[in-house]
Amino acid sequence: MNEAAAPGRVGDVRRRNLSLVLDSIARTGDAKPSRAQLAAGTGLTKAAVSSLVADLVESGLVSEVGLYRDGERGRPGQGLELSSRRGVVGMEINVDYLAVGLVDLGGNLRFHSAVESRNRGLAPAKVMERLGLLAAEVKAEAAAANIAILGGGLAVPGLVDAQRNLVLSAPNLHWEQEELNPRALLEGAPLGVRLSNEANSAALGELWYGTGQPDFLYVSGEVGVGGGVIIGSELYTGPGGTAGELGHIVVHPDGPGCSCGGAGCLETFAGQEAIFEAAGTPQGSLGERTELLLAALAAQEPQATQAVHDAGRYLGVALASSARLMDIEAVVLGGHFAVLAEWLKPALLTSLERYAPGLLDPGNLTVSTLEHSGTLLGAAGQVIRSVIESPFEFLLASKLA
């Protein structure tokens, strides 16, 4: 008996149905369903839904929002929605900036703020201090709007251990085995602050607040090339939690050495630095270099065009291999790749067609529309999702308080 799965108890049924009803309300979104509609949608009886909704309303997760009239006869229903008076703070540390946002349970970004910050090489404590200022701003905004902060999500460009609040490694920040104390950013928030990986959060943001496709590979072109795999509306993390390292897929066995110790990795051909260098973009801040590169592309300068073309070609190789291995049918481009999409896509599609003909419909290669808030939304969304998936635990906690 190596694995001890938990036994089913009578009470589990209610846990599950609480989650089912809450999830139904979340999915229905703006339509603000009534109890009767939820009963029809979930397959539960009206009696069961009424009882479940009563608990959810009492906990503050769900609120009744006026009457619901369809223009037909009969008693109108009470509209239900995820409370707009409860929110989660999304936070992001990246190489060049810090960002925070307040997301209510319904997924609306109620407030948003970002500052430039050269975080590479900075001590984690120093960065957390700066982030704390932004967090204070959010808290003030939340108080003003009468929104209770339930918790927060913090995305960093590196490998994290969410259980132990540990950044295992964030090479682009020059961090290694750093213990953050994210909880301190939002003192008093009952659900604390959850660490997560930037690319994974962006992928989840795209899933919950973007395209809504259930299966896709999100490609994050920040300083490194990252990826997030969404399968069946869930993040695929792999057994060790480090899946999606698209940047270190080998795209040429005779390629140059990579910072990861390997060779021929995608990142050495399609990382930001690699593209800037191949394009001959002079040194400078990220914003400046991006401007210059875009200008060069617009001017059809050959070196820049070739650089982006090559990046697209090798990205195509990596995507072809990924699609074959993981059966991926859709790709969403984010970060740098979204910015360069116009010039990148043709080479990418040609490459895909060469290495995996017919596997990926060109229409399934899309560009993220969430821009910089995707990561934020995903980081906060993970906390919101955890409430939607186990509301019972939340109910218990809020009854004690």
Q: Closest distance between DNA and the C-beta of residue 375, in Å? A: 36
73 binds, among its own copies, DNA, none (CB under 5 to 8 A by kind): DNA
| Tokens 């490194």 found at | 224
Ranges within 21-60 binding DNA (CB under 7 A): 34-37, 43-48, 50-54
Q: What are phi and psi of 193, to 5 degrees?
A: -125, 130
Q: In what order do the strands lie in the sheet with 193-197?
A: 109-116, 97-104, 86-93, 148-156, 193-197
Contact with its own copies (CB under 8 A) among 97, 112, 113, 236: 236
- Site for its own copies (CB under 8 A): how many residues? 74
Residue 8 interacts with DNA (CB under 7 A): yes or no: yes
Q: Closest distance between DNA and the C-beta of residue 278, in Å? A: 59
Contact with its own copies (CB under 8 A) among 53, 93, 199, 328: 328
Contact with its own copies (CB under 8 A) among 84, 305, 321, 398: 321
Contact with DNA (CB under 7 A) among 61, 63, 77, 360: 77
Residue 171 interacts with its own copies (CB under 8 A): yes or no: no
Stretch that binds its own copies, among 81-89, 147-155, 162-170, 311-319 (CB under 8 A): 311-319
Burial 357-392 (b: 16+ CB within 10 A, else e): eebbeeeebbbbebebbbbbbbbbbbbbbbbbebbb
Residue 263 interacts with its own copies (CB under 8 A): yes or no: yes
Contact with its own copies (CB under 8 A) among 317, 331, 370, 383: 317
Give residues with Cβ within 8 angstroms of 6, minimum separation 6.
none
Could you please report the per-residue DSSP string of 195-251?
EEEHHHHHHHHHHHHS---SSEEEEEESSSEEEEEEETTEEE--TTS----GGGSBS
Q: What are phi and psi of 88, to 5 degrees?
A: -130, 140
Residue 215 interacts with its own copies (CB under 8 A): yes or no: yes
Stretch that binds its own copies, among 36-44, 90-98, 141-149, 369-377 (CB under 8 A): 36-44
- For residue 320, what are its two tokens? 């072809």
Contact with its own copies (CB under 8 A) among 129, 161, 179, 327: 327
> Measured between alpha carbons, how far is 110 from 66 in angstroms, rounded to an integer?
22
Could you give the angle at the alpha carbon of 226 between the alpha carbons of 150 and 383, nearest 5°?
Answer: 10
In Å, the largest CA–CA distance within the chain is 73
> Which residues form the interface with DNA (CB under 7 A)?
7-11, 13-14, 17, 34-37, 43-48, 50-54, 67-69, 72-78
